[in-house]
Amino acid sequence: MRQIYWALFLLLLLSSCVLKKEPTAPTLNFKSGVGYIPEGSSVDTNALIKIGLEAQKTSSDMRYLQIERRIDSNTDVLFSSVLTAASKTSFDKDFECRTAVSKTIHTEQYFFKISDDNGFTFEKNMTLKVDPEL
């Protein structure tokens, strides 16, 4: 009788446990080729740069895209948008902006953040060296 109670207890315990699936990051790639700035490049101050991003969902639909730029400890949101229904499974985005005007060499970090339907956020970043001597 005791074994039956233990078996029932274990059965209830196992059936009440829900296994959580780990979130899978979408595939994020920077575009390359003519006109696109590659990761790690050195550019002039106030230069117009173009960064291309391709994204493909892996598990949950993608919901939100945000692009930030960090210079030293200051972060600015350059772009944010809820993705359209057509963009939730895959999208292709080109983004253009100017590097900061500065008289000194500095780095600029660009963060591309995608949130999915489950609230998880995934990130890909790019760092550029800005040199006014170029």
Other Cβ atoms less than 10 A from the Cβ of 19: the count is 4
Collapse the DSSP code of 66 into the 3-class scheme (helix H, G, I; strand E, B; otherwise coil) and give the result. Answer: strand
In the chain, domain spans: 21-130
Closest CA to 96 of 44, 54, 131, 48: 48
Reported pTM: 0.78
Q: Each residue's pLDDT tens digit in the chain (134 positions)?
A: 566 655 556 555 555 555 556 767 788 899 999 999 999 999 999 999 999 999 988 888 889 999 999 998 899 999 999 988 888 888 899 999 999 998 999 999 999 999 988 888 899 999 999 999 87
Closest CA to 90 of 120, 53, 117, 36: 53
CATH classification code of 21-130: 2.60.40.2550
Amino acid 41: pLDDT: 93
The burial class, CB within 10 Å (0-12 / 13-18 / 19+), for 114 is buried
